[in-house]
Every structure is written in structure tokens, then in C-alpha cells.
Amino acid sequence: MSGTRVNYYKHVGKAAQHLMAIEELLEHTTLGPKLLELIRLRTSQINGCSFCVNYHTQVLGLLEETPERINQAAVWEEAPCFTDQEKAAFRWAETLTKIADTRFINDDLYQATLDAWGEAGISELTLAVGMINTWNRLGIAFHTDHGFIDQLLRAKRNELAHA
């Protein structure tokens, strides 16, 4: 990895705060906190964002997600620990994340995801995937310092303690 990069938050902090407000809203969707974090993890794995993979893996631990499901997120299609509905969410997330490859969402995938999640769920899932893709791009472009993870995890622990 190359040298230190710009602290993007210093320059776009207000916009980043708005992104975090959207993230807070996503925490209360039909997806549920564990699946939301698994989707964030899988998307970050695809994009190669080490900061986000590290962070979301640890958040899943705080949420008491099983090690099996955390470890199997990368191979969800073959993993028996995920439901059909969760697999539909992973399939949708992967397709949206790789959209540059095809610039196309086929009708069968759309309908299967809609059937699995309903109108609200597919909308929330799409927003969640878009958000983590945005964070991944910031993390990758600016080599976000992994030292910030401890601060974020403290805040998450506090949030969970008061939930």
C-alpha cells in the first residue's frame, strides 16, 4: 500500500454525516441487522475493501452472528446455512455490485428478488447495496485507516447496549 492519502472526511464530512444518517435508517428495515451486515460484508469482499471487510466482520461478531455464516458469506451459493430469502438478497447484492460488467438486471432475477423480499424489501436492499458500494469506494480510494475501526466498534457496542 502506498503512503498516506487525503482524509476525505475532513473535506466531505457533512455529506458523510448524511450517508451515516441513511445507514441509521437502514438499521431498522425489513432486512434485519444481521443480514444487512452480511450483505455489507459480501459486497465489501467483492469490491476488495479491506477496511469494510474488517469492520463488518467485527460488527457481525457483536451481533452474535455465527462464525459459520460469517465465514460462508463469500461462498453463500453453496452454503447450507443461508435461507432461500437470504440467498436472494446475496444474489441481488452481487448483481448490483457487479453492474458495470453487464449494465443489466434481468427480469427473472428482479422477480425472484421481489418475490423473496416484497416491494419494500427490494427497495431497502437496493439502497443498502448502493450505500456499502459508496463506502467501499471511499475506503479503497483513500485507504481508510483501520485504526478508526476501534472507534466505530465502540460506538456500535454503545448503540447495541442501549437498544
DSSP 85-96: HHHHHHHHHHHH
Domains by residue range for the chain, with CATH: 10-161 (1.20.1290.10)
How far is 103 from 54, CA to CA, in rounded Å?
A: 29
Q: What is the pLDDT along the chain (163 residues), one digit of tens a residue?
A: 567 899 898 999 899 999 999 999 999 999 999 999 999 999 999 999 999 999 999 999 999 999 999 999 999 999 999 999 999 999 999 999 999 888 889 999 999 999 999 999 999 999 999 999 999 999 999 999 898 999 999 999 999 999 8
pLDDT at 84: 97
How far is 42 from 9, CA to CA, in rounded Å?
A: 24
User: What's the N-to-C CA distance of the chain in angstroms?
Assistant: 38
pLDDT at 2: 62
pTM, rounded to two decimals: 0.93
How far is 17 from 25, CA to CA, in rounded Å?
A: 13
pLDDT at 65: 98
Contact 74, 45 (CB under 8 A): yes
How far is 155 from 5, CA to CA, in rounded Å?
A: 25
